[in-house]
């Protein structure tokens, strides 16, 4: 049963705190009125539920405090967590069409007092935290992310269906009737059957393909491409080609287009809309649901095309994780290696390792906990050169191996290991424990150590990226106001009366974020504003670094490209 009203507070330094329990129909106009001061912050149960409705009414807000996302962070961080109120969902709402008003909320809807009480609890919890300033920044960034996620869904990623179809046709042949294999795949399948003497083989069937390969004398234990790649046999080339194209077909073929890309309107490209899930990954990274948005392969990025007269500004932050680690650890030497742009080149220049590739492999091993192969040889050199940085991740791993929890720089806490983990560790300590018990426990403890090792780094990098994006959004909104003289800046009635006029929607000359991928963002902008957008992205990256690490001299350089289509950025 869907509630017909929503409770929200608005805190505003210029107007004090007010709250209302308001009908959904009245919500947009009320919100728009409060926004006019320019200093309002909304406190509401769940941005993912509320904001899409505001967006479809043409209303955007500057900032909010998302009680659901904040609770999730505070619950793990607080010494004395409180249970989530029944009205506060612990999972993001099921995606739904904006026209449907039901199914969006948990069992009961909060009163205004409920909302105010939960807010007070969160503020108190924040105040009691070891570092309230950082945690406050994290909650603000997480909440800003929720606004951005909803806005990117509403605006969509520009997607040219025709260009996508050209890519598919060139790779696979014409679109087959449903259920049939495209021509090119059928050809390759025939070759594979011939070369393996396996008539009737379906290359999509892993089990039968593996048998056929072994019958042909290939000593493989899987059909994974990394294993096949090293083999000398005439079937390898067509087989790898088959796998590459079959993947393209199943992940981003014609069916994908039909499901995920809405048609273009008058000269404009269509749009791809996924559901972004802020905080969807344990480390604080975003997840997505629908369309595989975080795995858009390089092969189809040429179909991401700006509207006529518009550009895509693609910004990719270089080596965010080691930079975040340098900042956290206060490692001056590692920070210095990253000063000139390419941190891995910096490692080579400082004589720590001899090639860029080895620098990268070694650094990733330090961040992920790898020990095998070449990494084993490089790691000791990294430890000697960067004892503070490597010491930090080594300690995080040690905590994890003992079953403890770790925190990111801003204070996101790792989830503790589950019951199964504890059980296995417990069994290894019992008097009748056998070898396999101990081995399993040790192996599982090391797994946990690699998780916590990486958690602090990946999570802090995600925090930097959130701050970067939130700061970018803030500045893009200023461009919006400045670039649109038709919107009065003096708060005159004409400016606030027409909600649709005020709403910065694509097509009205407004640069806006359209894509986010861990350390990369894409802004869709009128072409003449592309240089300004690049400047904003750079400034925002610098600001994000300062928000996290203050005066510590760690830089966050970007690769920037203003391009008509995504493939041309090609970092």
Which residues are near DNA by CB under 7 A?
A: 202, 204-208, 210, 221-226, 243-244, 247, 250-251, 256, 277, 280-283, 285, 287-292, 294-299, 361, 364-365, 368-370, 372-375, 447, 450-451, 454-455, 458, 517-520
Minimum CB distance to DNA, residue 229 (Å): 7
Minimum CB distance to DNA, residue 110 (Å): 27
Residue number with CB closer to DNA (2 or 224) = 224
Minimum CB distance to DNA, residue 288 (Å): 6
Report which secondary-structure segment, H or E, holds 16: strand 16-23
Q: For residues 263 and 158, what is the distance between their CA atoms, to the nearest angstrom? A: 10
User: In sequence order, which residues have a C-beta less than 8 Å from that of residue 464 and are 6 or more positions away?
Assistant: 317, 320, 323, 324, 544, 545, 548, 556
Paired with 565 in beta bridges are: 305
Give the β-pairing of 520-526 and 275-277. Answer: unpaired
Residue number with CB closer to DNA (372 or 431) = 372
User: In sequence order, which residues have a C-beta less than 8 Å from that of residue 169 and are 6 or more positions away?
Assistant: 175
Residue number with CB closer to DNA (56 or 205) = 205
Minimum CB distance to DNA, residue 225 (Å): 4
| Closest to 473 (Cα-Cα) out of 40, 207, 151, 34 | 151
Neighbouring CB atoms inside 10 A of 224's CB total 11
Q: Is the dihedral angle over the CA atoms 542, 544, 545, 547 positive or is it negative?
A: positive
Residue number with CB closer to DNA (390 or 454) = 454
Residue number with CB closer to DNA (148 or 213) = 213
Residue number with CB closer to DNA (18 or 237) = 237
Residue number with CB closer to DNA (35 or 567) = 567
Could you tell me if 72 and 284 are in contact, meaning their C-beta atoms sit under 8 angstroms apart?
A: no
CB-facing half-sphere around the CA of 521: CA atoms within 13 A = 31
| Closest to 50 (Cα-Cα) out of 31, 75, 70 | 31
Task: Count Cβ atoms within 10 A of the Cβ of residue 7 and give its class: 0-12 exposed, 13-18 middle, 19 or more buried.
Answer: buried
Minimum CB distance to DNA, residue 277 (Å): 7
Minimum CB distance to DNA, residue 350 (Å): 20
Residue number with CB closer to DNA (41 or 453) = 453
Minimum CB distance to DNA, residue 206 (Å): 5
Minimum CB distance to DNA, residue 7 (Å): 29
SS3 60: coil
CA distances from 103 to 98, 134, 145 (A): 11, 35, 23
């Amino acid at each position: 049963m869907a509630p017909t009203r929503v409770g929200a507070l608005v805190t505003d330094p210029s107007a004090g705190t007010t709250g209302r329990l308001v009908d959904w129909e009245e919500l947009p106009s009320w919100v728009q009125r409060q926004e006019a001061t320019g200093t309002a912050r909304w406190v509401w149960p769940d941005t993912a539920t509320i904001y899409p409705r505001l967006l479809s009414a043409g209303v955007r807000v500057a900032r909010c405090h998302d009680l659901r996302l904040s609770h999730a962070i505070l619950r793990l961080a607080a010494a004395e967590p409180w249970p989530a109120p029944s009205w506060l969902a612990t999972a993001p709402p099921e995606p739904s069409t904006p026209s449907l008003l039901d199914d969006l909320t948990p069992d009961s809807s909060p009163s205004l007092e409920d909302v105010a009480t939960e807010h007070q609890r969160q503020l108190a919890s924040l105040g009691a935290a070891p570092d309230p300033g950082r945690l406050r920044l994290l909650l603000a960034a997480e909440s800003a992310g929720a606004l951005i996620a909803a806005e990117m869904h509403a605006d969509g990623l520009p997607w040219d269906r025709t260009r996508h179809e050209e890519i598919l046709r060139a790779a696979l042949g014409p679109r087959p009737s449903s259920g049939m294999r495209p021509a090119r795949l059928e050809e390759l399948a025939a070759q594979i059957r011939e070369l393996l003497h396996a008539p009737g083989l379906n290359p999509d069937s892993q089990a039968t393909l593996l048998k056929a390969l072994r019958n042909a004398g290939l000593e493989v234990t899987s059909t994974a491409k990394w294993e096949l790649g090293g083999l000398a046999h005439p079937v390898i080339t067509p087989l790898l080609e088959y796998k590459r194209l079959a993947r393209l077909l199943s992940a981003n073929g014609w069916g994908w287009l039909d499901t995920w890309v809405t048609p273009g309107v008058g000269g404009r490209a269509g749009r791809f809309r996924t559901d972004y899930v802020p905080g969807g990954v344990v480390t604080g990274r975003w997840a997505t649901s629908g369309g595989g948005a975080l795995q858009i392969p390089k092969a189809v990025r040429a179909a991401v095309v700006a509207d006529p007269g518009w550009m895509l500004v693609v910004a990719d932050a270089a080596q965010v994780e080691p930079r975040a680690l340098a900042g956290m650890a206060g490692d001056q030497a590692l920070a210095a290696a990253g000063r000139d742009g390419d941190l891995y080149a910096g490692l080579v220049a400082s004589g720590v390792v001899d090639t860029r590739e080895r620098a990268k492999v070694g650094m990733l091993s330090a961040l992920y906990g790898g020990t095998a192969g070449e990494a084993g040889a490089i790691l000791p050199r990294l430890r000697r050169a960067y004892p503070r940085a490597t010491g930090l991740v080594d300690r995080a791993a040690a905590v994890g191996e003992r079953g403890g929890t770790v925190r990111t720089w801003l204070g996101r806490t790792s989830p503790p290991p589950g019951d199964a983990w504890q059980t296995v560790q417990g069994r290894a300590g019992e008097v009748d424990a056998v070898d396999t018990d101990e081995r399993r426990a040790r192996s599982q403890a090391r797994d946990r150590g690699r998780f916590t090792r990486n958690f602090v780094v990946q999570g802090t990098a995600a925090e930097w990226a959130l701050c970067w994006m939130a700061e970018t959004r803030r500045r893009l909104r200023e461009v919006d106001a400045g670039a649109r003289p038709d919107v009065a800046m003096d708060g005159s009635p004409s400016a606030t009366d027409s909600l649709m006029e005020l709403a910065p929607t694509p097509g009205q000359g407004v640069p806006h974020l359209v894509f986010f991928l861990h350390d990369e963002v894409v802004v869709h902008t009128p072409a003449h504003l592309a240089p300004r957008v690049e400047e904003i992205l750079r400034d925002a990256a610098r600001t994000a670094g300062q928000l996290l690490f203050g005066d510590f001299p760690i830089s966050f350089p970007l690769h920037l490209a203003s391009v008509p289509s995504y493939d041309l950025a090609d970092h």
